[in-house]
Every structure is written in structure tokens, then in C-alpha cells.
């Protein structure tokens, strides 16, 4: 197996999969190869059997989610390698996943964060950080998508921003008026090729930097719990669903290919419905 990993990675790159996506794929394959070798047998593709694959997954005892991901990665690898077991692996029964409701900011937390971003002009990076986090809250962009933006991606006259999404696709996102006004100050007199969100050295800030910035602003806003940047995407989606009650619109806004991916937000709608029914007579 290991002899094929480099070429499989090149195949994934040709599909324009991000580095952050390819690394877990290869890590999963290396984990399988190591487990097969620890059995005292070769991990060569020629010696791979369904019995060995099945025993591997049974022995690992991982959660249904990680097991499902592992099967998906193995199926893609074997399909690429044109291995005769690819179809059987693809047909293996996937464990059912019980997804938890996504973590998102409460209305009070979002208001506190926005107010702090708006009023703390004593913080040197406030204009950039306010633009960044309001953009995430108002468009639902993934943090990696926001980090990759350039000044030229912002089309204020068209009220939209161009985004490179998963798989290298180009999409546009609508910008609400407040976000446009904030970005207008950020892009003024800047070259189109410059990173939209950059450090004091002029280089674009990465996802880890964004995580540290959010930690800083969350603490300033008096929010006592830790907030991952992806929570802002969940906050956007949750708010949009509450306003519209339309999961299809949320799917389009988040650029989800499958409605099943968007269905996690239905938990939020269910909670709202239960609360409404419970308090109907009060």
C-alpha cells in the first residue's frame, strides 16, 4: 500500500483537494497499513482481503463517524488503484451516525461580539478584525476560504465577494450592507492581488492566526466559553434557518452539495419548535 501513497496524493491534488483534506486521508491509509503489518503480514495491495479489512475495522472499535470516514477513504483509494475489492468496500454497511446539534453563538453572545468589534477602536487591528469576523458571521464562509481572499475578490458595486470553495470551485457570496461598509475601508487604495486580511508584514493571515484573534475578541466581549471560528459559520446558518425556516436556502448559502449535510441544522429548528409548543399557553 505504502508504495502507492505518493501517487494517490498527487491524484488528490489533481482533484484540487486542499492540503487540510489530503493529510487526514493519507493518515488514515497509513494507519491501516501499520495495522496490517503489525499482524505480521504484508500491507501490499496484492495480499489485501475483505477478511483482513473487516477484522481491522472490528478491532479498531472507533466511533461510527470515524469508521465511516475511514471506509470512505479506503474506498476512494482502492477505486483509484483499480483494486478488485473496491466495489465490496464501497458496499460495506456504514454505521449510522447520530449527529449532535451544531455549536453556535446565542443572540446575546453574537451581539456582545459585534459590539466589542465595533467599539474597541483602541485595538490596533480592530478594522481588519471587525471586517473578518463580521464577514464570517454574515456569509457563513469557512475560515480557510476567508483566509485565502484577496482584495480583488471583493466586488462592492455588485454587493458580493468571490470565494474559492472546496474542490477549487469559484462561488459568489452576497454581502449585506453593514459588511460592505466595513470592507470598503479595508480595500480602499489596496492592490487587487493583496491579501484581504493581512498581518503587519503585509502577508495574509492563516487559519491558526484567525483562531488566536477570535480567542482575543471573545475574551474582550466577555464570552466565557471557547469559540472555534467554525462556530461563526454555524451561527450564520442557524440564524438564517430561524429567519426563513428554509433548509434549502441554508444549503445554498453554505454551498453544501448534499441536503444531508445541511440537515444538522434541523436539530435547531426542532429545539425552537419544542420551546414554542412548551410556552404556547404561557
* pLDDT tens digit sequence for 198-227: 998 989 999 999 999 999 999 999 999 989
Question: Does pLDDT of 56 surpass 50?
Answer: yes
Q: How far apart, in whole angstroms, are the C-alpha atoms of residue 38 and residue 54?
A: 16
Q: What is the pLDDT of residue 95?
A: 55
pLDDT score recorded for residue 50: 85
**Choice between 238 and 94, residue whose per-residue pLDDT is larger:** 238
- The residue annotated as part of the active site, out of 128, 130, 142, 173, is 142
**Which among 166, 198, 209, 211 is annotated as catalytic?**
166
Q: Are 236 and 139 in contact (CB under 8 A)?
A: yes
For residues 192 and 3, the model is more confident at 192
Cα–Cα dist 70/181, whole Å: 44
pLDDT of residue 42 exceeding 60: yes
Q: Has 11 been annotated as catalytic?
A: no
pLDDT band at 22, cuts 50/70/90?
confident
How many Cβ atoms are within 10 Å of 106's Cβ, its own excluded? 11
What pLDDT sits at residue 68? 79
**Cβ-count burial 53-64 (b if 16+ within 10 Å, e if not):** beebbeeeeeee
What pLDDT is recorded for position 198? Answer: 94
How is 18-81 classified by DSSP, letter by letter?
-HHHHHHHHHHHHHHHHHHHHTTS---GGG--HHHHHHHHHHH---HHHHHHHHHHHHHHHHHT
Q: Annotated catalytic residue: which of 162, 171, 256, 267?
A: 256
Q: In this model, does residue 278 exceed pLDDT 80?
A: no
Examine the pLDDT at 229 and tell me if it is beyond 90.
yes
Could you tell me which of 118, 142, 138, 140 has the C-alpha nearest to residue 129? 118
Position 17 scores a pLDDT of 84
Verify whether residue 120 is a known catalytic residue. no
> Angle at CA 37, nearest 5°, toward 32 and 90?
30
Is 142 annotated as catalytic? yes
Percent of residues, the chain, with pLDDT higher than 90:
46
- Most confident stretch, 57-61, 143-147, 213-217, 248-252: 213-217
Share of the chain above pLDDT 70, in %: 84
Mean pLDDT over residues 15-23, rounded?
A: 85
State pTM to two decimals.
0.64
Quote the pLDDT of residue 239. Answer: 87
Three-point CA angle 254, 256, 262, nearest 5°? 85
Q: In which residue are the cell numbers 508504495 written?
A: 3
Mean pLDDT of 35-49: 75
What are the pLDDT digits (tens) for 151-170?
999 999 999 999 987 666 78
pLDDT for the residue numbered 148: 93
Does the structure show a pLDDT above 90 at 90?
no
pLDDT of residue 184: 94
pLDDT at 132 over 50: yes
Respond yes or no: is residue 4 known to be catalytic: no
Catalytic residue (choose from 68, 69, 230, 267):
230
pLDDT at 27 over 50: yes
Residue among 83, 128, 173, 233 flagged as catalytic: 233
Is 230 designated active site? Answer: yes
pLDDT value at residue 280: 47
Q: How confident is the model at residue 111 (pLDDT cuts 50, 70, 90)?
A: very high
Q: What is the pLDDT of residue 238?
A: 87
pLDDT at 126 (0 to 100): 95
pLDDT at 272: 58
Amino acid at each position: 500500500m505504502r508504495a502507492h501513497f505518493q501517487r494517490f496524493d498527487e491524484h488528490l491534488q489533481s482533484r484540487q483537494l486542499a492540503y487540510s483534506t489530503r493529510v487526514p486521508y493519507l493518515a488514515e491509509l497509513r494507519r491501516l497499513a501499520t495495522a496490517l503489518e503489525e499482524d505480521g503480514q504484508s500491507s501490499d495491495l496484492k495480499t489485501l482481503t475483505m477478511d483482513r479489512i473487516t477484522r481491522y475495522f472490528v478491532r479498531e472499535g472507533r466511533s461510527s463517524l470515524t469508521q465511516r470516514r475511514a471506509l470512505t477513504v479506503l474506498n476512494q483509494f482502492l477505486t483509484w488503484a483499480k483494486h478488485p475489492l473496491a466495489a465490496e468496500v464501497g458496499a460495506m454497511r456504514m454505521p449510522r451516525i447520530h449527529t449532535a446539534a451544531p455549536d453556535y453563538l446565542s443572540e446575546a453572545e453574537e451581539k456582545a461580539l459585534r459590539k466589542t468589534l465595533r467599539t474597541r477602536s483602541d485595538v490596533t487591528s480592530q478594522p481588519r478584525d471587525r471586517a473578518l469576523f463580521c464577514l464570517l458571521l454574515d456569509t457563513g464562509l469557512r475560515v480557510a476560504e476567508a483566509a485565502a481572499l484577496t482584495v480583488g475578490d471583493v466586488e462592492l458595486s455588485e454587493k458580493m465577494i468571490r470565494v474559492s470553495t472546496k474542490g477549487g470551485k469559484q462561488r459568489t457570496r452576497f454581502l449585506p450592507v453593514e459588511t460592505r461598509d466595513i470592507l470598503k475601508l479595508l480595500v480602499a487604495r489596496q492592490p487587487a492581488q493583496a491579501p484581504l486580511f493581512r498581518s503587519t508584514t503585509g502577508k495574509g493571515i492563516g487559519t491558526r492566526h484567525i483562531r488566536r484573534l477570535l480567542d482575543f475578541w471573545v475574551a474582550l466581549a466577555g464570552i466565557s466559553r471557547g469559540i472555534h471560528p467554525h462556530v461563526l459559520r454555524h451561527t450564520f446558518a442557524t440564524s438564517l434557518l430561524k429567519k426563513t425556516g428554509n433548509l434549502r436556502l441554508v444549503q445554498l448559502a453554505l454551498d453544501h452539495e448534499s441536503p444531508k449535510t445541511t440537515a444538522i441544522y434541523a436539530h435547531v429548528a426542532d429545539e425552537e419548535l419544542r420551546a414554542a409548543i412548551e410556552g404556547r399557553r404561557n
